[in-house]
Structure 1
Amino acid sequence: MTRRTEQHPDPTDSRIGAPIFSTWRVGTPERQRLAAEAIGRTWERRPWPTSDLLGYHVYAGQDGSTLMHYSQWSSPQAFEAFVKVHRQERVDEIDTAVPGIERVGLRRYRRYRSRERAAGETRVPGHVVTVRIDFEAGGEGRREEWADLVLKAVEDDPEGHAGLLSAHFHLSADGGHVLNYAEWESSEAYDRALAAPSTDAWERVRTYPGVAGFTGSRYTHVLGLLPG
């Protein structure tokens, strides 16, 4: 059985051995809505494929043209088994409902560190931001240190990040980049943080050696699926 949830995922769940993020380009806000509805129908019509899939969440990009997918797997092998047996029939049904979806990337990660929600925090994330940080070739070992610097900068600037509910740093399996999945109270809170005066700690983050570039994207959580 597959059931829906409005709750956001918990990236710190110790059972997650293979977090996977992917992106679909669908073109318009209306097609975002139709594709998310098709995903929900397709999954709800079928039994949950395996207990090794802990959760599957879909987000609408505020660019009006993309969907981000975040699935939480117990292991890479469990995901590969799903692809072999269950994935294609779901893809075919969704593509029949919403033709022309462009699947532009699927990336595998391991979570490195998180700034978890504070104890007793009751605010619901109204805004999800992902930032991909690419590193120059040979920079695999620098990714952890860079993430550490970011977390230290956030800790040293609690007022400027009052709207940040959590931040989760994932290292790509190919060694090339870091993905920060962050939950914010609202888009306004995120904009205020971006507009805040820079500090020495943030300058060290921005000028860290080996960083090749940053790519940020904004999302709204539109679909959560869990085993029933």
Structure 2
Amino acid sequence: MSTPRISLPVIDRADSGIAVLNRWVTTTPEAQQSLADATLAAWARAPWPEGLLAVNCFVSTNGDTVLSYEQWTGERELRAYDGAAADAGRAGLDREIAAAAGDAERSEPFVCRLHRSSVTDARNVPSCVVITTFAFEEAATARAWSDAICHADATQPEPTPGSISRHFLLSLDGTDVLNYSEWLDEESHRKFLENPAQTPEWQQVEEFTGLTHGPGRRCRPHGGLTAPLSTTGSETA
């Protein structure tokens, strides 16, 4: 697979109907870097699957997690790749990555669709991406919680310093949320958590119940690949 390397995905691209987040927890920062390199290398050597738009790799800033984010045109194309013959589809790719993963612990892939986005600053380029999952008892609550955060973003008197965008993706059954947010830098996100906004809209977000906070990490982009002949986001990582 010979394609342009890109640094960040366009989460809200119109042609992406479904996405997959893969997560590995490594034992050392050195193992993290090695696995991130191996993940991109495995994708780069493989034939580009039909319907795959982009693959991006992230490493957590604390040195223990590698995440890859796949964007597909739709569920049919994703399922075709997942079910393909061992050497031509997901099974072969997973074997190659697993060989490089060593003792890293892999979570179940998170398959999701974009629900909504909130862009607060399109002028700046993020150097920090925060990737977090949440589990809810009901799909309606997951949607309402995501909507409430976007509403709180849009109605606060001043934008959150350093916040660039938030994107909320729902699992196929609607009960789990992937929150992908872009920040100018780590310090901006850290200050946001330490000094949360006190508007009524943000207070309403805090009042939601029936949710479980999943793993969350501050990350930096490690690199990525985009579909051949696509110019979306094509630049050297």
Q: CA deviation at 1:198?
A: 3.9
Equivalent residue number for residue 96 of structure 1: 99
Segment drifting more, 84-93 vs 95-104: 95-104
- What's 1:48 paired with? 48
User: 2:19 — aligned with what?
Assistant: 19
Counterpart position of 1:39: 39
Equivalenced residue count is: 223
Q: Give structure 2 stretches of 5+ with no counterpart.
A: 229-237
Unpaired stretches in structure 1, ≥5 consecutive residues: none
TM-score normalised by length of structure 1: 0.88
Shift, 1:26, TM fit: 2.2
Aligned residue in 2 for 1:2: 2
| Residue identity in the other structure for 2:145 | W
**Do structure 1's residue 61 and structure 2's residue 64 form an aligned pair?**
no
Change (3 A) 1:140 1:40: closer
In structure 2, the residue matched to 1:133 is 134
Name the one with the larger strand percent. Answer: 1
Partner amino acid for 2:142? R
One-letter code aligned to 1:204: Q
Alpha-carbon distance in 1 for matches of 2:158, 2:41: 42
CA contact (8 A) 1:22 1:70 kept: yes
Q: CA deviation at 1:190?
A: 0.8
Percent of residue pairs bearing the same amino acid type = 30
CA contact (8 A) 1:160 1:196 kept: no
Q: Structure 1 residues 211-220 or 4-13, which shifts more?
A: 211-220
CA contact (8 A) 2:7 2:223 kept: no
Match of 1:204 in 2: 204
Deviation at 1:183, TM superposition (A): 0.6
CA distance in 2, matches of 1:89, 1:214: 29
TM-score where L is the length of structure 2: 0.85
Other-structure match for 1:124: 125
Equivalent in the alignment of 1:78: 77
CA contact (8 A) 1:2 1:227 kept: no
Task: Report the Cα offset of residue 142 of structure 1.
Answer: 1.8
Alpha-carbon distance in 1 for matches of 2:74, 2:115:
16
Q: Which amino acid is 2:93 matched to? A: R
CA distance 1:203–1:82, shift in 2 (3 Å): same
In 2 relative to 1, CA 46–213 (structure 1 residues): closer, same or farther, beyond 3 Å? closer
Match of 2:118? 115
- Alpha-carbon deviation of 1:196? 2.2
Q: 2:208 aligns to what SS in structure 1? A: coil
C-alpha change, 1:71 and 1:207, in structure 2 (3 Å) is: same
Alpha-carbon distance, 1:14 to partner: 1.2
The residue aligned with 2:233 is none
Q: Distance in 2 between matches of 1:160 and 1:118?
A: 8
SS at structure 2 position matched to 1:145: helix
> Counterparts of 1:145 and 1:97 in 2: how far apart (Å)?
40
- Asked if the contact 1:2/1:226 (under 8 Å) is kept, the reply is no
- When structure 1 is superposed on structure 2, of 153-162 and 20-29 the one drifting more is 153-162
Residue by residue over 1:29-64, the C-alpha shift from the partner in whole angstroms, topping out at 9 and shown as x without a partner, is 1111111111222222233222x0000111112232
